[in-house]
Amino acid sequence: MDGVSVALVGAMLAQGALALALLWYLGTIRVPMIVRGEVRIRDIAVSRQGWPERERQISNAVDNQFQLPVLFYLACGLALALGPSWVTLALAWGFVVSRYVHAAIHITDNNVIRRFWAFTVGLGLLTLLWLVVAAHLIAAARF
């Protein structure tokens, strides 16, 4: 595996690490609430409304790691199969950085305008990544 491919896998691992870290963080909020009896299991069995706002804020940040990032992983997998370029690598890492910024905003002050811009930057980078991967696929097709 060449250096660009290794670095692309690194971006994928960094994105996965973000999702796992947020899940663990969510657990540190949820489990103590259940243990202390602040939240009853029957109140959260089918709805998030039984959780306090702070938990829902973190839970929403976790949910966001299974939306755009799914398309990111697929694009990276395709790029790896086709042979990634420095452009794909830069776009991938830019996307990952945007997701870390988005998550940091989401779990701190949750400023919706700043979060929107972090999301939009990530969406733009992901769109460009898909276009580059599609161009590589077309070039590799050799009709």
- Spell out the per-residue pLDDT of the chain, length 143, in tens: 899 999 999 999 999 999 999 999 999 999 999 999 999 999 898 988 999 999 999 999 999 999 999 999 999 999 999 999 999 999 999 999 999 999 999 999 999 999 999 999 999 999 999 999 999 999 988 76
**What is the per-residue pLDDT for 143?**
64
Query: pTM higher than 0.85 for the full model?
Result: yes
Tell me the domain boundaries of the chain: 3-141
* Mean pLDDT score of the chain: 95
**What is the per-residue pLDDT for 20?**
98
The DSSP result for 54-78, as a single string, is HHHHHHHHHHHTTSHHHHHHHHHHH
3-141 — its CATH code?
Answer: 1.20.120.550
**What is the per-residue pLDDT for 10?**
98
C-beta separation of 123 from 68 below 8 A? yes
